[in-house]
């Protein structure tokens, strides 16, 4: 903790941040840059690499099965964690694609980091339809930290459904950093509780370690903060070596521009220091 504190108050943090590669060398974005896929990118500065983009079943409206989302995996000790990081859907077509992504990628937990709830039913009486999918609300709870919703996602052609947990955290300040580090830690604690609950929804014979889908407007800033914080806290909890630049470098190797700003990088340090003090590990 003292080392983290010293770095946070020293100019060396800037140099450390600048040394982390911004993206994978020689990365290809050919599918993301196709003209027909431009409307599916809310922010063209944050795009998935070709080789680990989420590939959906092609359709007439989406010939390449494209969604602005990337598969991301990380190893902590002997454990692996899986994520999907992408952009929030801003148009009706992209909302259909979003729910197709949730269905086909076997997602049971979605984390939303924006205020827009237009693609989420806000009451148990409301049903939303997006192409082949219908979305119902089963349960909702809002605290001063976040909103937790349990949804039922119904796939009309197959007549099958899946329970999907949905977490929203929208308390962000300037430069896409959480407004309060303690509130954000509470949110991450809720995220882990819901992750455990959502894993109980996985039917026998399916992937018992499904990816968590994290999304924000650009799919890099707020999503990157949340993804990185979740991984590093998991690393601390399992007494593994903490190497922040290495972790962010590995994440950027899988998704362009994770933690794009120095302010967010500093926030990660502040969060870890606060967490260590809260859990009395110092």
Return d(Cα 217, Cα 222) in angstroms, integer.
8
User: How many other CB atoms sit within 10 Å of the CB of residue 265?
Assistant: 23
Output the furthest CA–CA distance in the chain (Å, rounded). 58
Phi then psi dihedrals of residue 93, to 5 deg: -60, -45
3-state secondary structure of 242: coil
Single out the catalytic residue among 101, 146, 177, 216.
216
Determine how β-strand 212-216 pairs with β-strand 109-112: parallel
**Residue of 46, 72, 52, 20 lying closest to 268 (CA atoms):** 20
3-state secondary structure of 25: coil
What number of helices (H) and strands (E) belong to the chain?
Answer: 7, 9
Sign of CA dihedral 200, 204, 209, 215: negative
**Residue of 202, 221, 234, 214 lying closest to 262 (CA atoms):** 221
Return d(Cα 128, Cα 175) in angstroms, integer.
33
The residues that bridge with 81 in the sheet, in sequence order, are: 74
216 is catalytic: yes
The one-character DSSP state at 248 is H
Burial of residue 35 (CB within 10 Å: 0-12, 13-18, 19+) is: exposed
Return d(Cα 200, Cα 108) in angstroms, integer.
10
Q: Which residues are catalytic?
A: 216
């Amino acid at each position: 903790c003292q080392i983290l504190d010293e770095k946070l108050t020293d100019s060396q943090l800037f140099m450390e941040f600048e040394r982390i590669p911004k993206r994978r060398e020689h990365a290809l974005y050919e599918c993301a840059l196709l003209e027909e896929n431009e409307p599916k990118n809310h922010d063209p500065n944050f795009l998935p690499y070709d080789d680990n983009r989420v590939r959906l079943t092609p359709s007439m409206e989406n010939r390449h099965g494209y969604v602005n989302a990337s598969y991301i995996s990380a190893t902590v000790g002997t454990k692996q964690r899986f994520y999907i990081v992408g952009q929030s859907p801003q148009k009706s077509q992209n909302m259909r694609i979003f729910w197709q992504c949730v269905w086909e990628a076997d997602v049971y937990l979605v984390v939303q980091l924006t205020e827009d709830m237009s693609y989420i039913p806000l009451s148990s009486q409301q049903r939303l339809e997006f192409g082949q999918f219908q979305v119902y609300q089963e349960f909702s709870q809002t605290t001063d930290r976040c909103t937790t919703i349990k949804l039922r996602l119904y796939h009309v052609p197959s007549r099958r459904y899946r329970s999907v947990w949905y977490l929203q955290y929208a308390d962000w300040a300037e430069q896409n950093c959480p407004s309060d580090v303690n509130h954000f830690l509470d949110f991450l604690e809720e995220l882990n509780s819901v992750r455990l609950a959502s894993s109980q929804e996985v039917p026998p014979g399916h992937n018992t370690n499904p990816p968590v889908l994290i999304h924000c407007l650009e799919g890099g800033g707020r999503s990157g903060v949340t993804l990185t914080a979740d991984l590093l806290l998991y690393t601390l909890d399992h007494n593994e070596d903490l190497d922040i630049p290495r972790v962010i470098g590995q994440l950027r190797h899988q998704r362009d521009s994770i933690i794009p700003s120095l302010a967010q990088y500093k926030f990660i340090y502040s969060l870890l220091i606060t967490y260590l003090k809260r859990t009395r590990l110092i």
